Copies of this chain bind each other. A is one copy, B any other.
């Protein structure tokens, strides 16, 4: 088990949290809902291996007391007024009790390794079976934003959770951060799906030390930078998804609303048939059209959408227009090559630490577009994963 600490020099009121909507949330999520309303926060403690979900009963204790014990221990070692200054995060097996004493015992040695030069140890510490740590950074408005992320669906059998920590020194006020976060999440982490399953522990934290004063005129640029960083981090999560060998980048354009763009896009990137086709480098336009038609028909949206205006594109080429497929052998060959070029086939690399971690060899995606033809409509880009043997292996083959 890794225990990872993220701590500020001073407590801050500048933080925002986005937590899973799963109705069976983990204990850290329930603690997080309380922390969210508090005036101050100073540290985050993360453990992997055990997610502290539902061990002791819903509505009852359910691991909340265990999480609070860990927070209190961290607070004591950091000389904080109380455990409520510490946000707990857990990822790992669902249903087991958190070995809180082991976590507490680990805190002193974790404290000794704390430093302020690199986020890499934290990014590496929070992962479970992720293939590599995920870090994105930006410089903006005289300060910095750095984000780290863990997870891609439920990476290991029974292991839940996407954990994301967005850290900055920019003194953006609490209420502005809280206004931004839903938009940041909506445009990034809520646009990805590895396997359509929502975890019991998904968490996004936005935390500012407030050390760099900010001009209000820079807000739009900072927000843009934050969204852009979060999008790349979200894309990284998919790229590192369970068995992912192709990242699907789907643009839904000219949609009547953002809600329709999102729901239709999710249906498309979650279509098992389309995901399998992409795994096999098969430009299967029929499955793309079927997924779009299925959503539109089931939602009774035919009257809102003029489907005769709908265009489908793969690799930038129109493959469906005016209700008919536009394919020829040359275009198919081009599309197969486009998909082959987006295959990840990650190669092994060795970290400076000696740990064996594989990085993705490139950031090319399989480009899809569903253009709904609504003049001046909404646009949303979503990221999904193909469906491979490796996904089934990771999730079915570990015990029998």
Contact = CB atoms under 8 A, between A and B. Distances in A.
Interface in A40-86: 53-60, 62
B282 A398 contact: yes
Given A95-B327, A200-B290, A276-B395, 8 more contacts: A54-B323, A59-B323, A60-B323, A157-B284, A158-B284, A276-B391, A282-B399, A391-B392
B286 A94 contact: yes
Interface stretch (A124-132, A250-258, A295-303): A295-303
Contact of A293 (B22, B59, B93, B396): B22
18 contacts: A23-B293, A23-B305, A53-B286, A58-B324, A60-B322, A94-B325, A157-B284, A158-B286, A197-B271, A197-B273, A197-B290, A276-B391, A277-B395, A277-B396, A279-B392, A280-B400, A336-B400, A388-B392
B271 A58 contact: no
Interface class of chain A by DSSP: loop
Interface in A315-336: 320, 322-325, 327, 336
Interface string A90-107: 000111000000000000
Given A24-B289, A286-B93, A307-B23, A271 B396 contact: no
Contact of A273 (B195, B305, B308, B327): B195
A94 B292 CA distance: 14
A342 interface: no
Given A281-B400, A307-B58, A399-B280, A296 B327 contact: no
Interface of A: 20-25, 53-60, 62, 93-95, 153-154, 157-158, 160, 195-200, 270-273, 276-277, 279-282, 284-287, 289-298, 301-302, 305, 307-308, 320, 322-325, 327, 336, 387-389, 391-392, 394-400
A383 B85 CA distance: 48
B294 A153 contact: no
A285 B95 contact: yes
B200 A293 contact: yes
A58 B297 CA distance: 14
Given A20-B297, A297-B21, A298-B21, A290 B396 contact: no
Nearest to A340: B400
Given A57-B322, A197-B273, A308-B58, A22 B290 contact: yes
Contact of A198 (B56, B197, B290, B387): B290
A325 B292 CA distance: 38
A182 to B, nearest CB: 15
A95 B286 contact: yes
Nearest to A284: B158
Contacts of A324: 54-58, 60, 62
A308 to B, nearest CB: 5
A25 B293 contact: yes
A302 B30 CA distance: 14
A295 B25 CA distance: 12
B293 A24 contact: yes
A32 to B, nearest CB: 14
Nearest to A332: B399
B392 A392 contact: yes
Contacts of A298: 21, 198
